Amino acid sequence: MKNRHKPKVAFFSFTCCEGCQLQVLSCEDELPDVLSLVDIVNFREAIDEKRDDYDIAFIEGSISRQHEINEIKKIREKAKVVVALGACSATGGLNCLKNRFPMEEVQRVVYGDKAKKYKHLDTIPARPIDAVIPVDYYIHGCPITKSEFLYVLKSLLLGKKPEIPNYPVCVDCKMEGNICVFEKGMTCVGPVTRAGCSAICVTYGCICWGCRGLIDNPNLEAHEETLKRYGLTTEGVLRSFDLYGGWRSR
């Protein structure tokens, strides 16, 4: 690999908690190898350097303000490959919960009555980045899993298309040997949610909240019926679907 041109990689962050970038930084064992394969030219959370010549852009966060639209379009123009990094970027994520309310109200709740006077406090409904620019690949999850980030990066470097699971979390649960959440008297959205997380939440006693978004063809009608059969109201069902799926339900 030595003589090859090292691809330049940049990380960008929009509306989010920046936890997915932190996951990248916590790949401590692999980072020396990663740095021998790529040049990182823009990564606000890790380095001071900021260059605008990059091949691969990993973009974290959803788009929730007008000026972010302009910024991300510039990134798309420069990058050969754009990868959505994490739930906010890939599906809109938790940020889309705000879309249930009028934007003026959201602004007032967060910044107070005078908020609307200040232009820099503007806000628009939160959206995944592919609602604004074309996206080449997706790394799902809230946060992303380190292994999947590395897998996608390695695939891109090898010129292979990364295969992201298109089966639901139920598969991961069975492979992990978990007792089904529904058997334990709880409910989850695992049967319609994209796997690839090794069902980590269920494995550690929680439920699946759906952070990796829906599989390509989820049977949502069936899942609505199931959730109701297990005691959820229509409102409860909507809440289950909306936690991470707010953008989709609009």
Applying CB under 8 A, the residues found at the interface with other proteins are 1, 30, 33-34, 37, 150-151, 154, 157-158, 163, 166-168, 170-171, 174-175, 177, 179-180, 182-184, 191-192, 215-219, 222-223, 225-226
Alpha-carbon distance values, 96 to 93, 116, 221, 234 (Å): 6, 20, 22, 20
Instruction: Identify which of residues 123 and 203 has a Cβ nearer to other proteins in the complex.
Output: 203
Degrees, nearest 5: CA angle 44-47-50: 65
The residue count for the chain: 250
What is the maximum span of the chain, computed from C-alpha positions, in angstroms? 62
Instruction: Identify which of residues 20 and 156 has a Cβ nearer to other proteins in the complex.
Output: 156
SS3 label, residue 202 = helix
Instruction: Identify which of residues 77 and 183 has a Cβ nearer to other proteins in the complex.
Output: 183
**How many other C-beta atoms lie within 10 A of the C-beta of residue 127?**
23
For the bound state, the minimum distance from the C-beta of residue 239 to other proteins, rounded and expressed in Å, comes to 19
**How many other C-beta atoms lie within 10 A of the C-beta of residue 178?**
19
SS3 label, residue 63 = strand
Instruction: Identify which of residues 67 and 174 has a Cβ nearer to other proteins in the complex.
Output: 174
Instruction: Identify which of residues 134 and 177 has a Cβ nearer to other proteins in the complex.
Output: 177
Instruction: Identify which of residues 26 and 66 has a Cβ nearer to other proteins in the complex.
Output: 26
For the bound state, the minimum distance from the C-beta of residue 238 to other proteins, rounded and expressed in Å, comes to 19
* Bridge partner list, 11: 43, 58
When computed from its CA atoms, the radius of gyration of the chain, rounded to whole angstroms, is 19
**How many other C-beta atoms lie within 10 A of the C-beta of residue 175?**
11
For the bound state, the minimum distance from the C-beta of residue 175 to other proteins, rounded and expressed in Å, comes to 4
For the bound state, the minimum distance from the C-beta of residue 227 to other proteins, rounded and expressed in Å, comes to 10
**How many other C-beta atoms lie within 10 A of the C-beta of residue 233?**
10
For the bound state, the minimum distance from the C-beta of residue 197 to other proteins, rounded and expressed in Å, comes to 15
